Amino acid sequence: NAGVTQTPKFRVLKTGQSMTLLCAQDMNHEYMYWYRQDPGMGLRLIHYSVGEGTTAKGEVPDGYNVSRLKKQNFLLGLESAAPSQTSVYFCASTSAGEGTNGEQFFGPGTRLTVL
């Protein structure tokens, strides 16, 4: 099993450009999450999904959109990138059976720089 994978690993954008980050998991998990990690701020939840076709806002959703068209994939989109979105982005997933108290499995991260 590959676990949770993220594409791409690195990306540099110019202000105003758009891009999509892809997260894929092969553990048949129902719940998926997108976080951003900034120095000294821990992980902040951007959006999450509790099932195919369902998404919800997290703590810092502004400037991002998500889609969960397939159970195994969770896409994070930036429509018009801003320097404030320079960060490391992590995807995670959890089984619904342990959804409210269980372990999250993380991808390796995507390092995004917006110039």
Partner 1 sequence: AQSVTQLDSQVPVFEEAPVELRCNYSSSVSVYLFWYVQYPNQGLQLLLKYLSGSTLVKGINGFEAEFNKSQTSFHLRKPSVHISDTAEYFCARTGGFKTIFGAGTRLFVKA
Question: Which residues form the interface with partner 1 (CB under 8 A)?
Answer: 4, 31, 33, 40-43, 45, 48, 50, 56, 58, 90, 92, 99-104, 106-109
Q: For residue 47, which of 29, 63, 65 has the smallest C-alpha distance?
A: 65
In angstroms, what is the minimal distance from the CB of 2 to partner 1? Answer: 13
Torsion of the alpha carbons at 67, 73, 74 and 79, rounded to the nearest 10: -60
CA angle (63 as vertex; 58, 103 as ends), nearest 5: 30
Taking alpha carbons only, the member of 104, 33, 27 closest to residue 72 is 27
Pick the closer one to partner 1 by CB: 17 or 111: 111
- Least gap, CB of 103 to partner 1 (angstroms): 5
Task: Determine the 3-state secondary structure of 30 from DSSP.
Answer: coil
Nearer to partner 1, 76 or 107 (CB): 107
Question: For partner 1, which is the closer residue by CB, 16 or 102?
Answer: 102
Give the shortest CB-5-to-partner 1 separation in angstroms: 10
Instruction: CB nearer to partner 1: give 16 or 51.
Output: 51
The residues, ordered by sequence, that sit 6+ positions from 73 with a Cβ below 8 Å of its Cβ are: 22, 23, 24
Q: Kindly state the smallest distance separating residue 49's Cβ from partner 1, in Å.
A: 9
